[in-house]
Every structure is written in structure tokens, then in C-alpha cells.
Amino acid sequence: MYELGFIYPDWPAPANVKALCTSRLGGVSQGAYASLNLATHVGDDIAAVMQNRLLLTQQADLPEEPVWLNQVHGTEVLVLENWLGGVTDADASFAQTAGKVCVVVTADCLPVLFCDQQGRQVAAAHAGWRGLCNGVLEQTLQHFAKPSEVMVWLGPAIGPAAFEVGAEVRQAFLQQDAAANRAFVPTGHGKYLADIYLLARQRLTAAGVTQIYGGNDCTVSAPQQFFSYRRDGQTGRMASLIWLSQN
């Protein structure tokens, strides 16, 4: 029996909202992907990934198979009620029907889970710096009836002490909002340490979200618990999932 290591959001979501994030622990993948890699696009043995996904479905007691996205660092949101099957290019998914499972995979990029206070709508978004800067969180919020009644959980991502970026990344955010300057600390030679958690909070707050939770982990600095692309290059991916229960 493989026992998977789940992280559960610490947030006051309604009881019928179910959410979790996987760690790298408990799967069957080997080598650089050890052990719970859930992504098919990173070079891992596909049979191992499928076994890991089956373990996830079983141990998380998922109501059905999650709808896995082909993430492209964009802002497209897939409404699961409209999904016709196959792989879809998108970086977020939204659902308001019980049993439909939203999921994104990450290994330094920021996973963001959303639910409304009534427990009627949920979403998951993949926010790398490009998607975050270009509005993937705002696009996801557009699908909710009342963004002001949405709560958000920020999952494990690259921390502010590890995320060094070039001046072009800082400039891209400053063109959107001058307040983003607070999220960048110069390190010299035109480089900056970026706080992706603060950047996300700024964007969510500006969009009217007042309940924001999580944002305390660093994937880079916890190699036993998390995959990290920045740290390892060749590596697996964790999954962050959210759904509405059927009872």
C-alpha cells in the first residue's frame, strides 16, 4: 500500500468543498521523478504516472477522474461543464457541478484554489509568473457569480528567497501595477528576488478578494517534500485539486 502525502488547505471553506495538494511522497515513479509525479509531459514513464494518478483518485476518494489540463502559461479557463473530452490547453478550470474535479500541476509555479462562500463554485489555477502577470487569476474570478464572496488558497510554490528573476519580469509586473515594486528585492547585476505570493495577493486584492489563505511554503527549500523545477531541472509535478462533494 502506497500512502500518499497530502496537504490540506487551512481555510474556512464550506464543508462540501473538498481540496488538497499532493507532495512528492507516496508514488511509484523512480529517479528524478520519485515518487508521486502526476505529470505526463516531463519525461517520466507514462505507466508510472497513470499508476500515481490512480493512487491519487483512490486515496483522495475523488468522485471521478480529474480533468488534467495541458498547461501553457496562459490565462485560458476551462469550464468543466463544457468539457467534451480530450486534452485542453488551459491554465485554470472552473466547476459548479458536484463531482467535477479541478486540478493543476506545479513544481515552483503557484497553484491557486478558489471557492465561493456558499460552496457552489470552485476553481483551480496554475500561476507561473507569465500567467499571473497576464491575468490568469482575474480570468478565473470572472467565472464566479460574486468575486467579492470568493476565498482563495495559495499552495506550495517557489518562495521569495529562491525566486531570482531578471529586470524584464519586474518591469512586466510594474506595467500592470506600480505597487508590484514591493514584491521585488534587487540582488545586483539586474536581478531581483520576486515574491510570487505577494504578487498574487496584490492581484487578488485588486480584484476584490478579501479572504486569501496559504502562501507559506517554498518548494525549492524542501526537497524531501516538494518537486522543484528551479532546483532540479528534471523533476516531477505535484497536483492541487478542488471539487464539490455530492452530499
Mean pLDDT within 52-57? 97
Contact between 5 and 20 (Cβ < 8 Å): no
**Cis peptide preceding 35, ω within 30 of 0:** yes
- For 195-237, how does the pLDDT look when each residue is reduced to its tens digit (9 = 90+)? 999 999 999 999 999 999 999 999 999 999 999 999 999 999 9
Sign of CA dihedral 219, 22, 243, 9: negative
Q: Residue 246: exposed, middle, or buried by beta-carbon count in 10 A (0-12, 13-18, 19+)?
A: exposed
pLDDT confidence of 1, banded at 50, 70, 90?
A: very low
- C-alpha span between 124 and 140 (Å, rounded): 8
- Specify the residue for cell string 528585492: 185
CATH, range 6-157+215-244: 3.60.140.10
Mean pLDDT within 132-156? 97
- Does position 40 have pLDDT exceeding 50, yes or no? yes
- C-alpha span between 247 and 245 (Å, rounded): 6
Give residue 144's pLDDT.
98
- C-alpha span between 210 and 232 (Å, rounded): 35
Model confidence, pTM: 0.98
Contact between 137 and 74 (Cβ < 8 Å): no
Give residue 2's pLDDT.
61
